[in-house]
């Protein structure tokens, strides 16, 4: 009997938006805390400061769910200028919780043989 191939699921959620605004305006909306607070509140961020930033191009924030199991994730915003002066905003949301990335060293039931020693 042939085993069906397991399809590897993409771990990241990637969204792309075409915005009718210049890249500088989009960058301000995602990087200045007073503007960002309106649509990405600090209460869902682990820290209001970005985890990493490449000014004008990309910024990342660490997030934590406000409901159990309180999973941690990382959201990255990429600002991509377009030829017509508009902006492509790419949002990459990656689950980064250590509880889900650690794999057990062995299976609970590995179907191995159990040998006993005689006394």
The answer to whether position 5 is within a domain reads no
The answer to whether position 73 is within a domain reads yes
Q: Kindly state the average pLDDT of the residues 99-108.
A: 61
What tokens appear for 48 in the block? 């209001």
pLDDT surpassing 80 at residue 102 = no
| Structure confidence at residue 114 (pLDDT) | 63
When computed from its CA atoms, the radius of gyration of the chain, rounded to whole angstroms, is 22
Domains identified in the chain, total number: 1
Domain that holds residue 86: 12-98
pTM of the predicted protein model:
0.72
The answer to whether position 71 is within a domain reads yes
Confidence of residue 70 (pLDDT cuts 50, 70, 90): confident
Using one digit for the tens of pLDDT, what is the confidence trace for 37-61?
998 998 899 998 999 999 999 999 9
Residue 103 is given by DSSP the state: P
What tokens appear for 103 in the block? 């794999």
The answer to whether position 16 is within a domain reads yes
91 neighbors 14 (Cβ within 8 angstroms): yes
The answer to whether position 119 is within a domain reads no
């Amino acid at each position: 009997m042939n085993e069906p191939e397991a399809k590897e699921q993409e771990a990241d959620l990637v969204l792309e938006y075409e915005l009718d605004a210049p890249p500088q305006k989009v960058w301000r909306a995602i990087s200045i805390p007073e503007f960002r607070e309106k649509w990405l509140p600090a209460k869902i961020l682990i820290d209001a400061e970005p985890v990493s930033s490449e000014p004008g191009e990309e910024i990342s924030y660490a997030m934590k769910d406000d409901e159990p199991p309180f999973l941690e994730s990382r959201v990255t915003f990429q600002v991509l200028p377009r030829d017509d002066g508009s902006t492509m905003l790419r949002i990459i949301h990656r689950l980064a919780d250590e509880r889900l990335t650690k794999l057990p060293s062995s299976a609970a039931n590995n179907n191995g043989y159990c040998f006993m020693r005689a006394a």
